[in-house]
Structure 1
């Protein structure tokens, strides 16, 4: 044992970490002690390990996940921290959308939807898809719209397709009605309501349609369809109209 080694308690105070945290980081392989007493199991650290320990504490205080911290310590700092920042920005966007929804619920109460039942024909479509999480739906949808419209001016309806059951990861799809499309959107009976307002508030109308379906004893089937009736480039966000359609599996 070298005389310049610090016992875990003194090292923890130097780095503003707890002994429990240091033990946890050792267990994860993130910051191993310089020496462990084979008799007592007591951990000792070199003073020059303080910079890594302080870096871990700083990054964790900034909500940087431990796997990203490990990449930073291994030398991949720039890319790892950029990805962590992007994730935090996505989370902030999601929370801002949630606040806007909450403000509307506070002002108007839980949403009620004016629902009608329509029998939808099967439609030939071109489809673009993108992997998404609940926080990245807007970006994934925009990417799908760009790809599906790459062929020129749309002649048919533009339809967003979203899973009924939101998992950690899923595919977002956007379909463009086209006679030469390779995919077929099945027809059948649908509960339909029109949402008026920004796209990020469509979940309120989805809630209203699902509540109506439950109240009337039906069984919903996915995916949830959003038929975009207006051009967002030429329409005020508060006046955008979107048809929300959910298939009635039992009808």
Structure 2
């Protein structure tokens, strides 16, 4: 056995990791010991491995997923770290939106919404689609809108479509009505309420509409529709108007 090998306990202290963590990273193939005693199974590490071990500990302290850590160690450091940073930034933005919603609820209580049932016609539309997670809905929606801008016409509203049941990953769609559209947006009866205020607060109105379903014993059907009634480029956030619609599945 080489004299520059450190037993796992000493190496763990050097790298500010636990022995249990080092064993786990070895099992994953993320950081293997330089030598394992075949008779005792005891692990030994070289001092030069400390840099990788410290990088693993640092990235894990920032909740960077282990598969990303592995790719960083394999050499694609800049791209992977930038992607990890973007994910953390998106999570911070999502949490800030959540804090603003919570502040509003604390100040005003749960908002009451006037909900009415409207019958929407079927519409032929052009749609843009983007993969999203709950944290990236705003960015995915914005990407869809940018692709539809060339199809916009005066007086025609964009309609965002979002799943009723949020999963870890899903598609966000934004549509615009067009005579030559290649998709048909179904019509039918919808519970509808108008949201006034920033887009990030629309979930409050969505919950208000869903509460109406519970109060009246109806069954909601997705996707949730958001009809954007004015232009965010020229309208202050507090004056933005969005019609929230959820189809009433069991309406007569």
Specify if TM > 0.5.
Answer: yes
Counterpart residue number, 1:49: 49
1:218 paired to 2:218: yes
Which residue pairs with 1:77 in the alignment?
77
- The two structures have a TM-score, normalised by structure 1, of 0.97
Distance 1:110 1:152, change over 3 A: closer
Moved over 6 A (4+): none
Matched with 1:4 is 4
Spell out the pairing of 1:1-251 with structure 2 (5 A cutoff).
1-251=1-251
Aligned partners of 1:154 and 1:173: how far apart in 2? 21
Deviation at 1:152, TM superposition (A): 4.8
Other structure's SS at 1:175 match: strand
Q: TM-score, normalised by structure 2?
A: 0.97
Which structure 2 segments of 5+ residues have no match?
Answer: none
What CA distance in whole angstroms lies between the structure 1 residues aligned with 2:152 and 2:235?
A: 20
Cα distance change on mapping 1:126 and 1:154 into 2, 3 Å: farther
Distance, in Å, in 2 between the alignment partners of 1:13 and 1:156 is 64
Number of residue-to-residue matches in the alignment: 251
Alpha-carbon distance between aligned partners in 1 of 2:124 and 2:80, rounded to the nearest angstrom: 42
Cα shift at 1:63: 2.5
Change (3 A) 1:152 1:123: closer
Q: Is the 8 A contact 1:228 1:242 kept in 2?
A: yes
Q: Is there any run of 5+ residues in structure 1 with no aligned partner, and where?
A: none
Q: Separation in 2 of the partners of 1:52 and 1:122?
A: 58
> Secondary structure at the residue paired with 1:174?
strand
- Displacement of 1:64 in angstroms is 2.0
C-alpha distance in 2 between matches for 1:89 and 1:205:
26
Report the Cα distance in structure 1 between the residues aligned to 2:238 and 2:105, rounded to whole angstroms.
16
